[in-house]
């Protein structure tokens, strides 16, 4: 088999890359270890930044998202029994987020690729990279009982945190920066109408809680839990009790309950691999970086990476110029570190570490009051939450221009 770009992983990064390359007339083949039904039903994140949603729409894969996705122009920060709204749209010249499950994005991208004659091989095993430091890389894998080879000019490693791509780069040619947070999230999907129109991020002395949603009938909820927690430690009644307590307000907020469809525990981690290129292998998405979910950025960062990569590959294939590919890693990493900071800042603002004392609690409340009353502080949250413009990182070279980011 032969193609221009061999893409490992059919998550949002790999599928979006295949789609963007196709629009530029560049061939790719996507290899995925899981089955199609599995990747289309795996419950993950659900918040699309303004530009992520716009990209889906602009490239012809946003029709269902525009119909079924929930556009939010604000969010609530809840602490000390009160809720304060951050008006995202007012603070960012009309931008907002779209709540639309990651697996719905994945379904739409798979459908578009297949309709356009694109090749996605599901249920592959034993994926191995060879020759990535040459101009003729090869991906070896097994599919339907046969060992196969995909010859390509470029390999895109979009195979998530547990994939093989990152480990194919010699240890001497990469470094990782990592931070583990002292808590995890218990995520719950409930067959219940959302209890508010917008997302609620709650800081509480018993720990963080988040009210999100997937549709007018399905609520997505999260609770901060200690590391090492097993999902089975949390029977249904305990989950609802804790959510009621942490989301309570002084003016009688009521949380709607319903049957729990799914629950699971996710650790919170920050992780970055540098650089994101080795020879002809380019890493994108979770294969290169993980952010804690508090800022809702994992999926959006993956999409930003592949936008940069598709642009650089287009210049390379069309004009033979490799400068975009040479700059790919640095360009991505500027955005990644901005998002790492934002995600870690949101996490610190809202979670309660096990060793929290009165001092740290008071600082947290003071910061929450500031963020919800000062336009400058609220704008910082809002512009990062709806997503900085894609070309934001080019401004790093000219830092002090006093312009409004969303003019």
Segment near ligand PHB (CB under 6 A), from 44-52, 166-174, 279-287, 333-341? 44-52
Would you call 182 a catalytic residue per the annotation?
Answer: no
Report whether 375 contacts 383 (CB < 8 A): no
Give which of 39, 6, 278, 279 is closest to 148, Cα–Cα: 6
**Does 220 contact ligand PHB by CB under 6 A?**
yes
Report whether 20 contacts 30 (CB < 8 A): no
**Does 302 contact ligand APR by CB under 6 A?**
yes
Q: Which of 12, 137, 292, 293 does the annotation list as catalytic?
A: 293
Segment near ligand PHB (CB under 6 A), from 39-47, 50-58, 175-183, 394-402? 39-47
**β-sheet bridge partners, residue 82:** 79
**Does 96 contact ligand PHB by CB under 6 A?**
no
**Does 298 contact ligand APR by CB under 6 A?**
yes
Measured CA distances, 45 to 27, 202, 289, 296 (Å):
29, 18, 15, 7
Q: How far is the CB of 212 from ligand PHB (least distance, A)?
A: 3
Segment near ligand APR (CB under 6 A), from 61-69, 156-164, 178-186, 207-215? 156-164
Report whether 381 contacts 88 (CB < 8 A): no
Site size toward ligand PHB (CB under 6 A) is 10
Would you call 297 a catalytic residue per the annotation?
Answer: yes
Q: How far is the CB of 5 from ligand APR (least distance, A)?
A: 14
**Does 12 contact ligand APR by CB under 6 A?**
yes
**Does 224 contact ligand PHB by CB under 6 A?**
no
Q: Which of 19, 204, 289, 297 does the annotation list as catalytic?
A: 297
Give the one entry of ligand PHB, ligand APR, none that residue 381 binds, where binding means its C-beta sits below a cut-off of 5 to 8 angstroms depending on kind. Answer: none
Q: Which two tokens stand for residue 32?
A: 């995925």
Would you call 361 a catalytic residue per the annotation?
Answer: no
Candidate residues 9, 293, 324, 387; the one interacting with ligand PHB per rule CB under 6 A: 293
Q: Which two tokens stand for residue 125?
A: 């095993």
| Catalytic center residues | 72, 201, 293, 297, 385
Residues that bind ligand PHB (CB under 6 A): 45-47, 199, 210, 212, 220, 293-294, 296
Residues that bind ligand APR (CB under 6 A): 8-14, 31-34, 39, 44-45, 102, 127, 158-160, 162-164, 285-286, 298-299, 302
């Amino acid at each position: 088999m032969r193609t221009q770009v061999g893409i490992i992983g059919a998550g949002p990064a790999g599928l979006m890359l295949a789609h963007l390359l196709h629009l530029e007339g560049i061939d790719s083949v996507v290899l995925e270890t899981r089955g199609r039904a599995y990747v289309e039903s795996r419950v993950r994140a659900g918040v699309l930044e303004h530009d992520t949603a716009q990209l889906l729409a602009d490239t012809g894969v946003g029709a269902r998202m525009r119909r079924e996705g929930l556009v939010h122009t604000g969010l609530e920060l809840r602490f000390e029994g009160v809720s304060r709204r951050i008006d995202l749209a007012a603070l960012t010249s009309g931008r907002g987020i779209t709540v639309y499950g990651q697996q719905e994005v994945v379904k739409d991208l798979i459908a578009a690729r297949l309709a356009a004659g694109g090749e996605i091989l599901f249920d592959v095993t034993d994926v191995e990279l060879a020759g990535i430091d040459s101009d003729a890389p090869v991906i070896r894998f097994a599919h339907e009982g046969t060992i196969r080879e995909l010859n390509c000019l470029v390999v895109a490693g979009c195979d998530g945190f547990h994939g093989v791509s990152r480990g194919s780069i010699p240890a001497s040619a990469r470094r990782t920066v990592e931070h583990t947070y002292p808590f995890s999230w218990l995520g719950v999907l409930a067959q219940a109408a959302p209890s508010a129109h917008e997302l609620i991020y709650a800081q509480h002395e018993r720990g963080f809680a988040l009210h999100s949603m997937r549709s007018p009938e399905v609520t997505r909820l999260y609770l901060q839990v200690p590391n090492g927690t097993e999902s089975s430690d949390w029977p249904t009644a305990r989950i609802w009790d804790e959510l009621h307590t942490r989301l309570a307000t002084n003016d009688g907020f009521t949380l709607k309950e319903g049957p729990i469809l799914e629950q699971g525990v996710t650790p919170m981690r920050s992780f970055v691999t540098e650089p994101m290129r080795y020879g002809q292998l380019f890493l994108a998405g979770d294969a290169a970086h993980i952010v804690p979910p508090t800022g809702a950025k994992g999926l959006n960062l993956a999409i930003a990476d592949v936008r940069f990569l598709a642009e650089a590959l287009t210049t390379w294939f069309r004009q033979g110029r490799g400068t975009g590919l040479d700059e790919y890693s640095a360009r991505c990493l500027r955005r990644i570190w901005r998002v790492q900071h934002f995600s870690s800042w949101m996490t610190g603002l809202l979670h309660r570490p096990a060793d929290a004392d009165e001092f740290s609690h008071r600082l947290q409340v003071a910061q929450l009051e500031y963020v919800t009353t000062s336009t400058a502080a609220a704008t910082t949250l809002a512009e990062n939450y709806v997503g900085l413009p894609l070309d934001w990182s080019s401004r790093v070279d000219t830092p002090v221009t006093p312009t409004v980011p969303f003019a």
